[in-house]
Structure 1
């Protein structure tokens, strides 16, 4: 800086070589490397790389856990649990690769592996696995996810589904309904596992009269059966949408002795024993009980 100041005061005669400022004194090696694009990787950022070379590794497992934390109060617990199952497979496939380096070809290769090696149907992969991965990657490429990814590589990926000819209707037939409900009436108390016997005895009838899902009913607790405005109701706390739903109890359930069963049950879950219950199963307690995904 001192030489520049002196040169400016003294003029060109001061002997300062101004050519160093316009690059004319660059070595031939430097000019050739710039012209040929062979200068060091540390001096440029590759246009092919979606992330900086010195950025922290972001595995598929890490990415999912960040999304799970963000979504804890925004998504239904069962949605997070279902997505976790898909990401376990995807993380095992991607191994230690950075999620930002994954391409559409990688996603498609995983989907094919899921079908051909793990035996999952193309329909299930399209409707469950790819939806899960796309949802998380879309979040990661948006502002809510901090734009961790430059784009969503799952967009447009789908497996061809074979045409399936339905062999019968999707609903139970009348004789099947009668068989299920009749069998439920014959279930006896089991001292070894009373809650399992209770679920077999009451859940078929509860779902028949309420339309509730089995997973919603098996999470009923004693406190959920109560009196309101002159009628008996049950509060379904663990639902697909995550919103509590109150349903009246049909008179036939009361006639069968359901309220007696509830009154004689211990506080807590009516249809499963927490001591026996697997920590990673079902809708339980409305929380995501899945463990961290291994990278």
Structure 2
């Protein structure tokens, strides 16, 4: 907290505060009005200070306790200003703009309500305000928040004579140039109090609304001046201001998403780089200040910059990551909007780009190759994947305790590994029969030798932010398959086995629901999910029929 100081040439306490480096350029030259209520023996005090590298002004008190209180109020107002500068301009709802104009109304009532002076001053005040917001005069002096409206009374009599209403009504309503000169400073003060940066298009609307609020305040203060302090109906028309979420860095937003979503380590590694890319590109703007134009410029830079990315990568990786993180932010009221929501990359898949399954000959060749291997992952994983349609990462995290026998059928229970393994989704968890070719080749002996723990890796760290040990297993297996001659870029080394299994199921006449239940695809219909249940004997029969295409 800034501590009040004293200057050698003044007995009053001074406020002196350094503007944070990250906002000093945006803040420089802005004027901020500070309104301090009466405290102790000190009257209320209003002062305006200009922002530069420092903010300095007199607190107009010799009382140490009052100086500390006023210093705290000033710091809080400046904090809101700095937060608004960090977040950047935000579009306000009409309701919020009316709420801000209500703050101007209350400011005037608070300032002058107890001692409003003579009614004629407020008649002139509201008349000039109406002439400005109805577009009947090209300009007027700014509202004076320090003094009673004697100046307005003199101006009104000189410009309009004694019959103020008739004179104003006789003027054409075709110019709104006076909104800024009359209401601009009040608008700036209200925005600073609330820590709001307006988008440019919202300012004329706010100025107009402050004009109408000031008109209502003038009418109310005229009543006060005549001794009428009855209930104020105008106050009720102003809703409370709904403040935007506090500024949050894009990295912090990503970390909150990560903590709640707990994505796989591979997703974390990729998306962290995406977030860092956007954050660097926009100059470390707060997440709430990033707008659609920022996203569009970033997208264009990714596609055409020094290290261009493919349209597919930008569409399916970069934009998906940013849209997901911002959707989380909007849902948790951490940011006001998703700036990437409507951003698109025009990418159409072309012939020759879609992924393909292995054909029967390739599956047969890969299994024959695996049969001659002694390394456990090369020896068994191709078989387990080919004859279950499993993702290679699912079978790579099998533990010995998950290989069981039920009703004379040997089953692998596909579950997240106990040391931090993950499956893709809810439907990935399932029980699948093991084809007899593995049993005949001695798979159960291998399982007994490995014990109850992991079959294809040593224990993983359990740290969910690091890739599970099976990532290395599956990567090395893919490299071995590629090096063994399976080098068609449209056929992923291990995943093409999953494509083959699902395609083979169609060829042998199996229902989609049964093949999905074995391979861990999400059911396609409500009936498949809730009413059609395949028992283990049905699954084993299906596996045998598919395997018969490539294995005697």
Both proteins in one fold, TM over 0.5? yes
Q: Provide, for residues 96-136 of structure 1, a one-character-per-residue CA deviation record: whole Å limited to 9, x for no partner.
A: 21011111222233333444455543223322332232122
Which of 446, 449, 461 is the matching residue for 1:261? 446
Q: Which residue of 1 aligns with 2:317?
A: 128
Distance 1:281 1:16 in 2: 71
Which of 12, 18, 26 is the matching residue for 2:118? 18
- Do 1:63 and 1:99's aligned partners in 2 also have CA atoms closer than 8 Å? yes
Distance verdict in 2 for CA 1:46–1:19, change over 3 Å: farther
Q: Which residue of 2 aligns with 1:272?
A: 457
Which of 175, 179, 182 is the matching residue for 2:368? 182
- Do 1:141 and 1:152's aligned partners in 2 also have CA atoms closer than 8 Å? yes
- Do 1:222 and 1:267's aligned partners in 2 also have CA atoms closer than 8 Å? yes
- Do 1:184 and 1:202's aligned partners in 2 also have CA atoms closer than 8 Å? yes
- Structure showing greater radius of gyration is 2
Q: Which residue of 1 aligns with 2:359?
A: 173
Structure 1 segment 14-93 matched on structure 2, within 5 A: 17-19=117-119, 22=122, 28=141, 30-31=143-144, 35=182, 37-39=184-186, 41-44=188-191, 45-48=196-199, 56-72=246-262, 77-78=263-264, 81-82=266-267, 85-93=270-278
Q: Which residue of 1 aligns with 2:377?
A: 199
Question: Is 1:250 matched up with 2:435?
Answer: yes
Distance verdict in 2 for CA 1:139–1:16, change over 3 Å: closer
The answer for unaligned runs of 5 or more in structure 2 is: 1-114, 126-139, 145-177, 203-241, 417-422, 472-552
Q: Which residue of 2 aligns with 1:233?
A: 411
Distance verdict in 2 for CA 1:61–1:43, change over 3 Å: same
- Do 1:184 and 1:200's aligned partners in 2 also have CA atoms closer than 8 Å? yes
Distance verdict in 2 for CA 1:168–1:54, change over 3 Å: closer
Distance 1:206 1:39 in 2: 73
Deviation, structure 1 residue 39: 4.7
- Do 2:457 and 2:469's aligned partners in 1 also have CA atoms closer than 8 Å? no
Distance 1:17 1:84 in 2: 68
Higher relative contact order, chain-length normalized (CA < 8 Å, sep 6+): 1
Comparing 263-272 with 115-124, which one deviates more in the overlay? 115-124
Indicate the RMSD between aligned Cα atoms, in angstroms: 3.7
Superposition TM-score, scaled by structure 1 size: 0.71
Q: Which residue of 2 aligns with 1:112?
A: 300
Distance 2:320 2:120 in 1: 58
Q: Provide, for residues 115-161 of structure 1, a one-character-per-residue CA deviation record: whole Å limited to 9, x for no partner.
A: 4455543223322332232122123223xx1x222221112212222
Distance verdict in 2 for CA 1:53–1:241, change over 3 Å: closer
